[in-house]
Amino acid sequence: MADIPAASDTGEGDLALLRAYEPVIRYTAGELFLPTAVGAYVGRAALWRRRSGERRDECLAQTGELTLERLAEAGDRFAGDGLYLRLVDRPMRGAEYRRWRRDAAQPSFRPSSRFAAVGLFARLVDAGLRLSLLLRGTVPGGTRAAAHHLYATHMQGNDHPYYARVFRDGGYVALQYWYFYPMNDWRSTFSGINDHEADWEQVTIFLAETLGGSLCPAWVAFSAHDEVGDDLRRRWDDPDIEFVGTHPVVYAGAGSHAGAYLPGEYVTTVALAWPNRLRVASRQVVRALLPWTRDAPETSAGVPFIDYHRGDGVGIGVGERRAWHPVLIDDDTPWVRNYRGLWGLDTRDHFGGERAPAGPRYERDGAVRSGWANPVAWAGLDEEYPTVEHGAVLLERRANQLERRLAGLAVEIDDRRRAARESRASNRARAAFASHAGADKPRRHRTGPDRHGTEALARLRTEQTALREELDAIVRARTQPPIDTPHAHLRRRALPLTADTPRQRFLAIWSAASVSVMLAGIALVVISPPVGVLWSSAGLIALMLAIEAAARGRLVRFTATMGAAGAVVFAVLGAVEVVVRNWRAGAAAVLILASCALLVANLRTWMINR
């Protein structure tokens, strides 16, 4: 698209830029919570204070008493204490909950089998995580119903706010769009990993400042679960991005509200606070036991979930029935700067997934978010020059530096070469003089400085060659600039799952039941093993792996792998049995082989040094 003039730093200029590129967000049918005004949310929430050493939390403001101004004042006054908002005072239960389910008019939602996309080991890890919810601090299931009732009664509307900020740094103008949701109901509504009161998500669009002073869109970054740096952002001309005019389309995750570029269903692996060495070791064990998983993508801590980004529900933005209402914020906005606490219930979950988030400026620990403090660095753009013209200027500057260095190297090499030749001439003269003086055998003199000078000359030559190659590449780039593909910077391109097939349906059924089947089989082995605990356990594992391989269409490969492994095991056991029964002959054979190997090695060394 054509460049636009760079706007001034005034609020009106920033607002015009924000409105020109504000995203369109499309949600999955069944989404209960949409972007909401923070003032309406705070007005229905209570403010709580947690002090270290105290057993009970203190309520600083009851429901209905709080405003954004009071929230900012409390955040400033109690900056050293842990503050959090609490929207739901009492989760719905019993008849009230059933009445909500009947009257909520929630659109029908048909989930997919998230387990079908991952292996058996990942499903075992997931089972452990599910059981851990019994011991961890979690958001009760009825909280979703109570939060939705409050949202529908006091906060819901057709005009949805985003909280926008403009940040200039490193040749980029970052347009940040922050969206606030009263709740993340990913677990309770869409079978995800967590629920928590309140949710903050963002989209950042990076405009590049051209050498002529205008602005052009360059990159876009959607907040996502497990993507950082380069993988967060996409180039403006990326074919994965859908546009409505100049407005990129975001497909929000159902309940999680994370952003995706393409509509569909994604396997998302949520990283847990596990030691990295344990994660790497477990992955190595799985790949050793299951060879066909060696080429499978890394799955973080092995806890996979489906994130639904179908886009078949409500849409907000240009061309949609619902509209955006921009609200400008910055470092001087009191509630943004002063309130470092959580925006919902603090469950004290050690994994962090069930705790409410902090605001747009802060992390849960009170540190400033990198995405707020340094958006350019957060998106991995510190090393990306803004435009092709900037790249040409940088290449020209680098070429000038190389030419100056090469000219200096030429002089330095001439000096070093002259010194080396003078040293060689001197050495030869000394050797000749020693021969005429009656020495038995002429000796070749080589002084220390001469040796060091030769090594230094070699290093200079190496540097000269490398710089010439770099300069030659720059000269070629001037006439034929290199063009990266839109996905060249990505380490992992997130793509939705493929369409459902009969095999995948069978895999979905098996994957949903596999962990339960394994636990029941273990129980039978413990109570009454058919052929002993060891062989019964081995048989159970082999059966589970065989069914898993068949469900994934890998039964032939699995059978061949297990057959080869069985042959190796039997060969090793046979060799061990032979050695045990005939240990004298076995020991003698080992000693004879060792003596032959040693003799060959010694003869080879003797021939070389002869």
**HEC states along 352-363?**
CCCCCCECCCEC
Q: What is the pLDDT of residue 136?
A: 46
In this structure, are 512 and 443 located in the same domain?
A: no
The average pLDDT across 486-508 equals 73
In this structure, are 95 and 202 located in the same domain?
A: yes
Query: Any residues with CB less than 8 A from the CB of 196 and at least 6 apart, and which?
Result: 139, 183, 184, 344, 345, 347, 353, 354, 355, 356, 357
| Domain stop point among 341, 361, 384 | 384
For 419-454, the pLDDT digits (tens) are 888 888 888 888 887 766 665 554 544 444 556 677
Give the alpha-carbon dihedral of 353, 333, 180, 349, to 10 degrees: 10
* Pair of tokens at residue 534: 């060891």
Tell me whether residue 415 is in a domain: yes
Which of these, 333, 13, 392, 324, lies nearest to 173 by C-alpha position?
13
String of b and e for 494-520 (b: at least 16 CB within 10 Å)? bebeeeeeeebeebbebbeebbeebee
In this structure, are 365 and 409 located in the same domain?
A: no
Q: What is the pLDDT of residue 564?
A: 80
Question: What confidence category does residue 382 fall into, taking pLDDT thresholds of 50, 70 and 90?
Answer: very high
Higher pLDDT, 434 or 332: 332
Q: What is the pLDDT of residue 20?
A: 97
Tell me whether residue 600 is in a domain: no
**Cα–Cα distance between 122 and 134 in angstroms, integer?**
20
* Pair of tokens at residue 244: 């409505």
Tell me whether residue 109 is in a domain: yes
Going across the sheet that includes 46-50, the strands are 58-61, 46-50, 82-86
* Pair of tokens at residue 562: 């297990």
In this structure, are 256 and 173 located in the same domain?
A: yes
Question: What confidence category does residue 208 fall into, taking pLDDT thresholds of 50, 70 and 90?
Answer: very high
Residue 279's Cβ-count burial label (10 Å; 0-12, 13-18, 19+) is middle
Q: What is the pLDDT of residue 533?
A: 72
Tell me whether residue 489 is in a domain: no
**Cα–Cα distance between 316 and 322 in angstroms, integer?**
5
Tell me whether residue 20 is in a domain: yes
Tell me whether residue 494 is in a domain: no
The average pLDDT across 17-45 equals 96
For 237-289, the pLDDT digits (tens) are 999 999 999 999 999 999 999 999 999 988 776 555 444 455 556 556 655 65
- The mean-pLDDT minimum among 38-47, 226-235, 461-470 falls in 226-235
Q: Contact 200/359 with Cβ under 8 angstroms? A: yes
For 553-585, the pLDDT digits (tens) are 667 777 877 788 778 877 777 777 776 777 777
Question: What confidence category does residue 121 fall into, taking pLDDT thresholds of 50, 70 and 90?
Answer: low
Question: What confidence category does residue 220 fall into, taking pLDDT thresholds of 50, 70 and 90?
Answer: very high
Highest-confidence range of 247-261, 302-316, 413-427, 526-540, by mean pLDDT?
247-261
- The mean-pLDDT minimum among 349-353, 361-365, 516-520 falls in 349-353
- Grouping H, G, I as helix, E, B as strand and the rest as coil, residue 428 is helix
In this structure, are 394 and 330 located in the same domain?
A: no
**Cα–Cα distance between 37 and 182 in angstroms, integer?**
9
Q: What is the pLDDT of residue 509?
A: 63
Whole-structure pTM value: 0.74
Percent of all residues in the chain with a pLDDT value above 90, rounded to a whole number = 44
Q: Across the chain, what does the average pLDDT equal?
A: 82
- Grouping H, G, I as helix, E, B as strand and the rest as coil, residue 299 is coil
| Domain stop point among 384, 400, 417 | 384
**Cα–Cα distance between 525 and 534 in angstroms, integer?**
9
pLDDT at 301 over 50: no
In this structure, are 380 and 393 located in the same domain?
A: no
Q: What is the pLDDT of residue 56?
A: 87
pLDDT at 185 over 90: yes
Cα 265–267–273 angle (5° rounding)?
A: 140
Question: What confidence category does residue 123 fall into, taking pLDDT thresholds of 50, 70 and 90?
Answer: low
Q: What is the pLDDT of residue 299?
A: 44
In this structure, are 378 and 273 located in the same domain?
A: yes
Q: Residue 76 CA to chain centroid, in angstroms?
A: 34
- Grouping H, G, I as helix, E, B as strand and the rest as coil, residue 342 is strand
**Cα–Cα distance between 216 and 234 in angstroms, integer?**
15
- The mean-pLDDT minimum among 75-84, 281-290, 453-462, 467-476 falls in 281-290
- Backbone φ and ψ of 265, nearest 5°: -120, 130
In this structure, are 179 and 272 located in the same domain?
A: yes
Q: Residue 168 CA to chain centroid, in angstroms?
A: 25
**Cα–Cα distance between 575 and 247 in angstroms, integer?**
70
String of b and e for 156-186 (b: at least 16 CB within 10 Å)? beeebbbbbbbbeebbbbbbbbbbbbbbbbb
Higher pLDDT, 299 or 552: 552
The beta-strand segments (E) located in 107-237 are 159-169, 172-184, 196-209, 214-222, 233-235
Full domain range(s) for residue 506: 502-591
Q: What is the pLDDT of residue 300?
A: 43
Quickly count: other Cβ atoms within 10 Å of residue 190's Cβ: 22
Query: What letter represents residue 432's amino acid?
Result: A
**Cα–Cα distance between 163 and 227 in angstroms, integer?**
23
Q: What is the pLDDT of residue 447?
A: 46
The average pLDDT across 522-548 equals 77
Residue that is written with structure tokens 């009170």 in the block: 366
* Pair of tokens at residue 370: 């990198």
In this structure, are 461 and 515 located in the same domain?
A: no
Domain count, the chain: 3
Quickly count: other Cβ atoms within 10 Å of residue 74's Cβ: 20
Tell me whether residue 608 is in a domain: no
Higher pLDDT, 492 or 196: 196
- The mean-pLDDT minimum among 19-28, 65-74, 351-360 falls in 351-360
pLDDT at 336 over 70: yes
Highest-confidence range of 272-281, 336-345, 497-506, by mean pLDDT?
336-345
In this structure, are 401 and 292 located in the same domain?
A: no
pLDDT at 500 over 60: no
Query: Any residues with CB less than 8 A from the CB of 510 and at least 6 apart, and which?
Result: 547, 548, 551
Q: Contact 91/147 with Cβ under 8 angstroms? A: no
DSSP for residue 322:
B
In this structure, are 146 and 238 located in the same domain?
A: yes
For 507-516, the pLDDT digits (tens) are 566 666 666 7
In this structure, are 151 and 205 located in the same domain?
A: yes
Q: Contact 381/228 with Cβ under 8 angstroms? A: no
**Cα–Cα distance between 220 and 247 in angstroms, integer?**
11
DSSP, residue by residue, 32-96? ------HHHHHHT-EEEEE-TT-SS-EEEE-TTS--HHHHHHHHHHTTTSEEEEE--SS---HHH
**Cα–Cα distance between 594 and 610 in angstroms, integer?**
24
Higher pLDDT, 157 or 412: 412
For the packed helices 502-527 and 120-132, what is the interaxial angle rounded to 10 degrees? 70
Question: What confidence category does residue 304 fall into, taking pLDDT thresholds of 50, 70 and 90?
Answer: low
- Backbone φ and ψ of 167, nearest 5°: -135, 130
The average pLDDT across 129-142 equals 57
**Cα–Cα distance between 180 and 257 in angstroms, integer?**
10
The average pLDDT across 306-317 equals 92
CA distances from 259 to 34, 84, 407, 416 (A): 14, 26, 52, 61
Give the alpha-carbon dihedral of 122, 123, 126, 128, to 10 degrees: -100
| Domain stop point among 427, 446, 479 | 479
Tell me whether residue 454 is in a domain: yes
Q: What is the pLDDT of residue 367?
A: 94
